[in-house]
A = this chain, B = another copy of it.
Amino acid sequence: MKRNSSIRREKIAEALGRTRSHPTAEWIYDQVKQEIPDLSLGTVYRNLKILVEEGRARVIHAEDGKDHFDAHVEAHHHLICKQCGKVVDYYTSEETGLAQRIETDTGFLIDSDGLKLSGFCKDCKPKA
Interface residues of A (CB under 8 A from B): 61-63, 65, 79, 81-82, 88, 90, 92, 94-95, 98-99, 101-102, 105-111, 113, 115-122, 125
B119 touches A109 (CB 8 A): yes
**Number of copies of this chain that the complex holds:** 2
Cβ-defined contact, A88 with B61, below 8 A: no
Residues of B within 8 A of A108 (CB): 79, 81, 88, 90, 117, 119-122, 125
CB neighbours of A81 from chain B (8 A): 108
Question: Chain B residues near A94 (CB, 8 Å)?
Answer: 98
CB <8 Å contact, A106 and B88: yes
Q: Are A79 and B98 in contact (CB under 8 A)?
A: no
